[in-house]
Chains A and B, each alone.
Chain A
Amino acid sequence: MNALLGNLYRFFRSVKLAVVLILVIIALSMLATLVPQGMPDEMYRARYSPAVYALINAFGYQRFFGSAFFLIPVLFFTVNLGVCAADRFITRARTRAKRRYGPDLVHIGLLILIAGGLVTALGRHEVALSLVDGQEAALASGQIVHLVSFQFFKYDNGMPKEWISTVRVTRDGREEVSSFPIRVNHPLRLSGITLYQSAWNVTGTLTLTDAEGKEVSPQPGDYFEQNGSRWEFTSFEQAGDAWAVSFSRYRGTEPAPIETRLLRVGESIGPFAVKAISATQSTVLKAVSDPGLAPFLAALVLLLAGLGLTFIQKRGDNPI
């Protein structure tokens, strides 16, 4: 029994094994990037031939990083890393060798990082909250998020500049956060849950009247033909304090529009006049609870400290 454990210990403390496992993980990771990961099943069915689709499904290729093909080498690597880290401590204590803590910190940091990844994979929860101004939603942690206002700012060229969801958070009627502007890269961190600016939506109704005064209510994507081209209703757009609608003109099968018009109430396009536009803008906040976040951050600190220490000690040995 002791001989078996000894053999296992010697096997797993090997740097050669570490290098081989690293090369295996590299090869598997390369293979995984050949097929998009985690997409809906319809995407794979549409994109690949039936034979390739069957292969992807059979091997779980669409979720490769969660499959046994990837996780088993990672498990071996983790054991190898742990044994190597322990072996370094033991060897140094026995031989009183030169103290090099940098690589130890890196190895421990990596072990914590892998553990954090596992905790995240098993315990991370994510919920999308779609809210309009004044609406509220309950979080799993017991708080209530109230959307005070949602604002969408654009640059002069029409590109998005900022989405700001200003929220208030209460628990049991008591105010925990009086006002917080959630933006992309500026999440609201509550105890155990974080709110991220994720997306936004506009839903609405457009009412047009045709030349005979008959009312129609097209949806985005609907179109009409005029002089050999087609005008497509593309989206609702905020124009100052009022809402407008955007129509794009396409010729033949060309993918890019040849003309785009922004119409307000009372304006006309082809045989149609815009009678009424009513639209509502909503924000989508992502509520995430990730118990792996704390070990992840601790691992990064250790990793950086270890690399820095290793570099300083190596530089001391052999200055450039």
Chain B
Amino acid sequence: MMATIALLAIALAAVLQAGFLLRRENRRDPISHWLLAAAAALLVATLVERSIRISFVAVTDTYESLVFFSACICVVLFALRMAPKTRGLSPFVLFGATIVSLALLAVSSSPLAPRDIAPPIPALKSFWLVLHVTFSFIGEAFFVVSFVAAIVQLASVTSERRAEMDRLVATAIGIGYPIFTAGALVFGAIWAETAWGAWWSWDPKETWALITWLVYTAYLHTRLVKRLRGTTSAILAIAGFVATVFTFFGVNFLLSGLHSYG
């Protein structure tokens, strides 16, 4: 029920943002980010309720992961909208990332992500797993922002807008990258060692997480070290997010491995 209300709140936020975009006034709507904050609170409450019912942190199945990911995006958008430097967060980026959050929540309501509450199997009962999942999704929430900003950058006609988007892409990846590294690779490897006795197995999920990390590593080296700006770095940011999405959905549904828990 709470997740459904959250979905409606995010949908309403998207409608408001779209309305302001269509009026072409270049003004930021004053409400939608508060709706996103409320949606995030409801989604977190959904997970808290499920956590109490399974006596463990509820981030162990696809439904819970999607809800958490969506909540993270809402929190990140709210934080960027409120942060002094990014208070003027482009309405296009806000709208695009809101749509991504809405899409994830819509998938969580589909048969692809059953809502049945199931207690975790032994392999999933680990503090390291909780750190692995939460940090990975927080990092990926910033990658969502970078992805949308990179698309806006490529679609922009003015050089000021392109430069503004380029900075936003770099900022979002600059924050998301260390968090994602800690979650997906460091905590993930520690969990694997504790659970299976092998810190790296070249399991498809591990390999795709590494691919994602390498794409963003390439982005940071081109953007921050070689000072490369423009189309190439925007394309790398988009490729990074495509790899992120494939790591989450593609591997779960197309490839099998240690991360297949049914």
Residue of B nearest to A16 (CB): B226
Cross-chain contact A187 with B197 (CB below 8 angstroms)? yes
Cross-chain contact A296 with B189 (CB below 8 angstroms)? yes
How many A-B residue pairs lie within 8 Å, measured between CB atoms?
A: 111
When distances are taken between beta carbons in the complex, the residues of chain B under 8 Å from A126 are 197
A303 contacts chain B at the CB level, 8 A cutoff: yes
Taken residue by residue from 227 to 262, chain B's Cβ proximity to chain A (1 for < 8 Å, 0 otherwise) reads as 000000000000000000000000100011000000
B181 contacts chain A at the CB level, 8 A cutoff: yes
B211 contacts chain A at the CB level, 8 A cutoff: yes
Stretch of B29-37, B38-46, B213-221 at the chain-chain interface? B213-221
* Total number of A residues with any Cβ neighbor in B under 8 Å: 52
B182 contacts chain A at the CB level, 8 A cutoff: yes
Taken residue by residue from 86 to 121, chain B's Cβ proximity to chain A (1 for < 8 Å, 0 otherwise) reads as 100000000000000000000000000000001101
B208 contacts chain A at the CB level, 8 A cutoff: yes
Cross-chain contact B189 with A300 (CB below 8 angstroms)? yes
When distances are taken between beta carbons in the complex, the residues of chain A under 8 Å from B251 are 33
B194 contacts chain A at the CB level, 8 A cutoff: yes
Of B128, B171, B190, B218, which is in contact with the most chain A CB atoms at under 10 Å from its CB?
A: B218
Using A185-B195, A300-B189 as known contacts, say yes or no to A33 and B255 having CB atoms under 8 A apart: yes
A186 to B129, CA, bound (A): 13
Using A308-B178, A320-B171 as known contacts, say yes or no to A296 and B122 having CB atoms under 8 A apart: no
Q: Report the minimal beta-carbon distance from B221 to chain A, rounded to whole angstroms.
A: 5
Using A65-B202, A300-B190 as known contacts, say yes or no to A184 and B125 having CB atoms under 8 A apart: yes
Cross-chain contact B221 with A183 (CB below 8 angstroms)? no
Where chain B touches its partner, the secondary structure class is helix
A163 contacts chain B at the CB level, 8 A cutoff: yes
B175 contacts chain A at the CB level, 8 A cutoff: yes
Q: How large is the interface on B (under 10, 10 to 19, 20 to 34, 35 or more residues)?
A: 35 or more
Q: Report the minimal beta-carbon distance from B35 to chain A, rounded to whole angstroms.
A: 22
Q: Report the minimal beta-carbon distance from B28 to chain A, rounded to whole angstroms.
A: 17
A253 contacts chain B at the CB level, 8 A cutoff: no
Residue of A nearest to B127 (CB): A185
A87 to B125, CA, bound (A): 44
When distances are taken between beta carbons in the complex, the residues of chain A under 8 Å from B128 are 185
Using A22-B214, A25-B214, A26-B215 as known contacts, say yes or no to A162 and B122 having CB atoms under 8 A apart: yes
Using A117-B200, A196-B196, A303-B186 as known contacts, say yes or no to A32 and B207 having CB atoms under 8 A apart: yes
Q: Which 3 A-B pairs have the closest CB atoms?
A: A184-B122, A307-B178, A185-B126
Chain A residues with CB under 8 Å of chain B are 15-16, 18-19, 22-23, 25-26, 29-30, 32-33, 36-38, 65, 117, 120, 124, 126, 155, 157, 159-163, 183-187, 194, 196-198, 286, 288, 290, 293, 296, 300, 303-304, 307-308, 310-311, 314, 318-320
28 contacts between A and B (CB under 8 A): A16-B226, A18-B221, A19-B222, A22-B218, A26-B211, A26-B214, A26-B215, A29-B211, A33-B204, A33-B208, A33-B255, A37-B202, A65-B202, A120-B199, A163-B122, A185-B122, A185-B123, A185-B128, A185-B191, A185-B194, A198-B197, A293-B199, A300-B189, A304-B186, A310-B178, A318-B171, A319-B85, A320-B85
